[in-house]
Amino acid sequence: MPDSLATVDWARAQFALTAMYHWIFVPLTLGLSFLCAFFESIYVKTGNEEWKKLTKFWMTLFGINFAIGVATGIIMEFEFGTNWSNYSWMVGDIFGAPLAVEGIFAFFIEATFFAVMFFGWNRVSQKFHLFATWMVAIGSNLSALWILVANGWMQFPIGMAFNPDTARFEMQDIMAVIMSPFAIGKFTHATSSGFVLASLFVVGISSLFLLQNRHQRMARRSMAVAAVFGLLSSLFLALTGDEAAYNVAQKQPMKLAAMEGLYVGTENAPVVAFGIVNSTKRPGDDAPAFYQEVKVPGLLSLLANREFGSYVPGIDDLAFGNPERRIVGAAARMERGKIAVAELANYKAARKNGDEAAAATALARFQEHQADLGYGHLAKPADAAPPVATTFYSFHIMVILGTLFPLLFLLVLFYTAKGTIEYQRWLNSINIFALFLGYIAGMAGWVVAEVGRQPWAIQDLLPVHVAATRLAPGNVQTTFFIFLTLFTVLLVAEIRIMLKQINIGPEA
């Protein structure tokens, strides 16, 4: 048993490593592809060759990022089959075909239009080249659709039914899956975070040029476009973030409670603007949640329910229940979940023995309790709570940085419009640093989304320790360190090639 637990934790670490490495490349691809399309559109509109040169420069950096990042997502699919075989089997009917179709679609769009974008400058008409660049941008972003829909489904599983004979979730309503508020929220929030990161990338590198007194005209032009795109995207990002938090409050209240370190539910619930989490606190004990905290009263109620003064449940309410507020806690759901697990076992045994009457009875009882299936695998109510400190800090880092970025873009626009951006050395230095903050904000967002929904692989239905394959921990450890080495080498390679190209500048 301890081996299985160690395996689960190594498998989680490996998946987190792979996903985070993948997310270094994805957001830049999503956003920079659109920025290239904007730059080229201006070139086609104005006919000014400097815009063409500028477009080609950013396109080269886009190509480097794309090439190093390509196929890193496939590694996660390897991991599904090996480390997460139970999960993989159970969701295969829902995700298998759409992800394959998406892969083929993305491959053909990218293979066709990518080549035109890079090789076709003097071979196709200006307008067709521009069309190809836009298609790469649209195709790259669409290729993120299904994986984000899949992630949304894991957070809020709808539009499916569990087949107890095959042990698989089967798609019942594809539109419910695609149009789920979580799917839409994931897609809009993740892609717009990519737009913000790419804007920070262009602004940051342009600032570097300004600080070095190189390519000043190109840098100013790039910054102006990227700052507008970044400002609009970061405002949209804030809107989609607010919507995501509302959805979390409605469907994953435990995650929201962890995001704010709220243990005891309350009306007029506060947002903790700043806090040092008491990491020794556990659900149900009397220890304080924070060593130090600065609260903004009522804001969490507004965020969660869009109503000042409304009640927001805390971790203790959700773990142990709160009859006064009619909150069914994990403790009660565990009882129902254990019935679901037992009846599923009874159904399996009855089917094996050919006792159809007993199978029908067990199936009816299972279906009555299956909404709490996952809780049947928890050992105690506190296991339904995610790691609070990690979720809290990640959420606050993401929100603080997400608030700073639009201000930064505004400043860049102000000084660009004023024509003095090249003299603002302090701002240009911050812009370079902000690129790294952009990556941290994006990663922190994913930590909130994924750590915050623990212990679930599929919300309420499948905890991660059941989703995982029972392997010897050594197997997963070995591949974890292989990946760590491989990813580090590839990242160093990318940074070196990228820096070399930036150093050469648009003259290349």
Partner 1 sequence: MRGLLFRTYAMYRDGFAAMTVGRRLWCIIALKLFVMFAVLKLFFFPNYLEHNFSSDADRAAHVLGEITAQPMPRADRQP
Contact range with partner 1 by CB under 8 A, out of 44-52, 253-261, 289-297, 342-350: 342-350
**What is the C-alpha to C-alpha distance for residues 17 and 21, in angstroms, rounded to an integer?**
6
**What is the C-alpha to C-alpha distance for residues 314 and 286, in angstroms, rounded to an integer?**
14
Q: Which of 345, 407, 417, 440 binds partner 1 (CB under 8 A)?
A: 345
CB of 67 to partner 1, least distance (A): 4
Query: Is residue 71 near partner 1 by the rule CB under 8 A?
Result: yes
Q: Which of 13, 20, 89, 178 binds partner 1 (CB under 8 A)?
A: 89
Q: Which of 103, 106, 118, 432 binds partner 1 (CB under 8 A)?
A: 118
Spell out, one character per residue from 48 to 67, where the chain touches partner 1: x when CB under 8 A holds, - when not: ------------x--xx--x
How long, in residues, is the chain?
A: 508
Q: Are 242 and 402 in contact (CB under 8 A)?
A: no
**What is the C-alpha to C-alpha distance for residues 89 and 401, in angstroms, rounded to an integer?**
38
CB of 29 to partner 1, least distance (A): 14
What residues numbered 250-289 form the site for partner 1, per CB under 8 A?
A: 282
Residue with tokens 């993305």: 106
Residue with tokens 């370190």: 261
Query: Is residue 167 near partner 1 by the rule CB under 8 A?
Result: yes
Contact range with partner 1 by CB under 8 A, out of 135-143, 148-156, 241-249, 343-351: 343-351
What residues numbered 451-470 form the site for partner 1, per CB under 8 A?
A: 455, 462, 465-466, 469-470
Query: Is residue 471 near partner 1 by the rule CB under 8 A?
Result: yes
Q: Are 229 and 243 in contact (CB under 8 A)?
A: no
Query: Quick one: DSSP state of residue 112?
Result: I
Q: Are 506 and 57 in contact (CB under 8 A)?
A: yes
Query: Is residue 2 near partner 1 by the rule CB under 8 A?
Result: yes
**What is the C-alpha to C-alpha distance for residues 198 and 130, in angstroms, rounded to an integer?**
20
CB of 503 to partner 1, least distance (A): 12
99: burial class by Cβ within 10 Å (0-12, 13-18, 19+)? middle
> How many of the chain's residues bind partner 1 (CB under 8 A)?
67
CB of 366 to partner 1, least distance (A): 10
**What is the C-alpha to C-alpha distance for residues 406 and 233, in angstroms, rounded to an integer?**
9
Spell out, one character per residue from 372 to 411, where the chain touches partner 1: x when CB under 8 A holds, - when not: -x--xxxxx-xx----------------------------
| Cβ nearer to partner 1, comparing 175 with 379 | 379
**What is the C-alpha to C-alpha distance for residues 76 and 63, in angstroms, rounded to an integer?**
22
Residue with tokens 């987190």: 16
**What is the C-alpha to C-alpha distance for residues 292 and 471, in angstroms, rounded to an integer?**
42
Q: Which of 13, 41, 53, 82 binds partner 1 (CB under 8 A)?
A: 82
Beta strands in 313-431 (DSSP E): none
**What is the C-alpha to C-alpha distance for residues 334 and 94, in angstroms, rounded to an integer?**
26
Contact range with partner 1 by CB under 8 A, out of 27-35, 114-122, 288-296, 414-422: 114-122
CB atoms within 10 A of CB 231: 20
Residue in 467, 95, 453, 444 with CA at minimum distance from that of residue 251: 453
Query: Is residue 115 near partner 1 by the rule CB under 8 A?
Result: yes
One-letter identity of residue 367:
Q
CB of 415 to partner 1, least distance (A): 32
Interface with partner 1 by CB under 8 A: which residues?
1-2, 4-5, 9, 60, 63-64, 67-68, 70-71, 74-75, 78-79, 81-82, 85-86, 88-90, 115-116, 118-120, 123-124, 164-168, 282, 338, 341-342, 344-345, 348, 373, 376-380, 382-383, 455, 462, 465-466, 469-471, 475, 478-479, 482, 486, 490, 493, 497, 501, 508
